[in-house]
Structure 1
Amino acid sequence: MHTIRSLHRGLMALEILNNHKSLTVAEMARQIDLPRTTTFRILENLVAFGYLKRGERKGRYSLTIRVRNLASGFNEDAWLTEIVRPLAIDLSKIVIWPISIMSPRNVRMSLRFTTDTESPLSLDYYNEGLRLPILSTASGHVYLSYCGETEREIVLSALRHEKPDVTNMLANSPDIIQKIISTTRENGFAINIRSPRALEPGKTNTIALPIMRNGQFLAALAMRYISVAMTTTELKERYLPTLTAIRDQMEEELEEADVDI
Structure 2
Amino acid sequence: MREYRVKPVRSLARGLRVLRVLQEMRAASLHDLHLATGIPKASLTRILHTCHREGLVWQRMADGAFLPSHIQQRRAKIDDAEWLVEIASPVLKRLCEQTRWPSVLSVPRLDYMETIETNSPLAYFDDVMAKPVGFRVNMLRSASGRAYLAFCADEEREAVLRRLRERDVAGHELAHDGERVRRIVEQTRRRGYSVRAPDFGGDYGRPRAESDDGRNSIAVPLRVAGQVLGCVNLTWRLRVMSAKEAARRHLPELRAAVREIEEEAARS
Which category describes the TM-score, using the shorter chain as reference length? 0.5 to 0.7
For residue 79 of structure 1, give the secondary structure of its aligned residue in structure 2: helix
Asked whether the 8 Å contact 2:84–2:265 carries over to 1, the reply is yes
Matched, 1:102 2:110: no
Paired residue total = 182
- Kindly tell me: are residues 151 and 196 of structure 1, through their superposed partners in 2, closer, same or farther at Cα, counting changes over 3 Å? closer
Structure 2 unaligned runs (5+)?
1-61, 63-79
Aligned to 1:123: 128
8 Å Cα contact 2:113-2:137 kept in structure 1: yes
Q: 1:126-205 counterparts in 2 under 5 A? A: 126-165=131-170, 167-192=171-196, 194=198, 199-201=207-209, 202=212, 203-205=214-216
Residues 142-197 of structure 1 show CA distances to partners (whole Å, capped at 9, x for unaligned) of 111111111111111111011142x1101100011001110111111101154699
Deviation larger for 114-123 or 101-110? 114-123
The reply to whether residue 85 of structure 1 matches residue 89 of structure 2 is: yes
Kept in 2: contact 1:98–1:122 (CA 8 A):
no
Alignment of 1:1-261 (within 5 A): 76-81=81-86, 83-120=87-124, 121-165=126-170, 167-192=171-196, 194=198, 199-201=207-209, 202=212, 203-257=214-268
Instruction: Indicate the SS of the match to 2:141.
Output: coil
Partner amino acid for 1:187? R
1:214 deviates by 1.1
The residue type paired with residue 113 of structure 2 is M
How far apart are residue 117 of structure 1 and its match?
Answer: 2.0
Q: Distance in 1 between matches of 2:257 and 2:200?
A: 32
Q: Distance in 2 between matches of 1:244 and 1:196?
A: 23
Instruction: Name structure 1 gaps, 5 residues minimum.
Output: 1-67, 69-74
Q: In 2, are the aligned partners of 1:193 and 1:206 still within 8 Å (CA)?
A: no
Q: Distance in 2 between matches of 1:156 and 1:111?
A: 20
Distance across 1 between alignment mates of 2:237 and 2:197? 10
SS at match of 1:200: coil
Q: What TM-score, normalized by structure 1, do the two folds share? A: 0.65
Give the percent of matched residue pairs that are identical in Structure 1 and Structure 2: 26
Amino acid at match of 2:243: T
Structure 1 pair 215–76 and aligned structure 2 pair: CA distance change class (3 A): closer
AA of the residue aligned to 2:137: L
